[in-house]
Homo-oligomer: A and B are copies of this chain.
Amino acid sequence: MLTVHGMSNSGNCYKVKLALEQLALPYRWIEVDVTGGETRTPTFLAKNPNGKVPTLELDDGGFLPESNAILHYLAEGTPLLPGGRLERARVLQWMFFEQYSHEPYIAVARFIAKFLPPESPRRADLAGLVERGHQALGVMERQLAQEPFLAGGAYSIADIALFAYTHCAADGGFDLGRYRAVRDWLDRVRAQPRFVAMSA
């Protein structure tokens, strides 16, 4: 059985949980104490030398890190990943967008605003992160005003990847009021079969 080494309130880990649930795959979940430093221990670094969750433990005892690589592994051959070469590249386009242009602003703003103490000096970064995060939301809005899902007509792991931190963007100080297409898309994702919410 697959085992997820993850942290329940991480959007990157929630991506993997949502895909596993929607694919009806059995799995175990081992909660990792990231804030307590567990991902920097030799035991964890032997699983993932980059010291990050989620890390998927495979049936053969191997490990696969990187949330979006895990999504791709789980979804290949299922309706969550289209079969055509260009269609797959479109899914990956949005997943790389997520990791480079979205997560470093929207997820990091959430982390600072929600999990760091009020006196943290990193709160000075919030204004810049929110500005860049709105750029990412604007790019999503433009796409979702034209198509029901990010990679086109069908729900895919690109939607799972971007739902993870978009649906809780308010935690980082983002007002989604001006992004009507994004909000409608969030509702479409929530309406997908076997959808499960992220842990608070």
The answer on a CB contact under 8 Å between B49 and A69 is no
A100: contacting residue among B77, B85, B92, B100, CB under 8 A? B100
* Interface membership of A147, Cβ < 8 A: no
* Interface membership of A174, Cβ < 8 A: no
Chain B residues with Cβ under 8 A from A89's Cβ? Answer: 64, 69-70, 72-73, 76
Taken together, the copies of this chain in the complex come to 2
Chain B residues with Cβ under 8 A from A68's Cβ? Answer: 92, 96
The answer on a CB contact under 8 Å between A86 and B58 is yes
Chain B residues with Cβ under 8 A from A138's Cβ? Answer: 49
User: Told that A64-B93, A72-B92, A73-B88 touch, could you supply 6 new A-B pairs with CB distance under 8 A?
Assistant: A66-B92, A68-B96, A69-B90, A70-B89, A100-B100, A100-B103
A10 to chain B, nearest CB (A): 14
A79 to chain B, nearest CB (A): 16
The answer on a CB contact under 8 Å between B72 and A88 is yes
The answer on a CB contact under 8 Å between B139 and A50 is yes
Main secondary structure of the interface of A (DSSP, over half): helix
Known: A49-B142, A49-B143. A92 touches B69 (CB 8 A): yes
Query: Which 10 pairs show the lowest CB-CB distances between chains A and B?
Result: A73-B89, A69-B93, A69-B92, A66-B96, A66-B93, A99-B100, A76-B85, A49-B139, A49-B142, A50-B139
A65 to B151, CA, bound (A): 13
The answer on a CB contact under 8 Å between B76 and A90 is no
The answer on a CB contact under 8 Å between A97 and B142 is no
A92-111: contact bitstring with B at CB < 8 Å (1 yes, 0 no)? 11011101110110000000
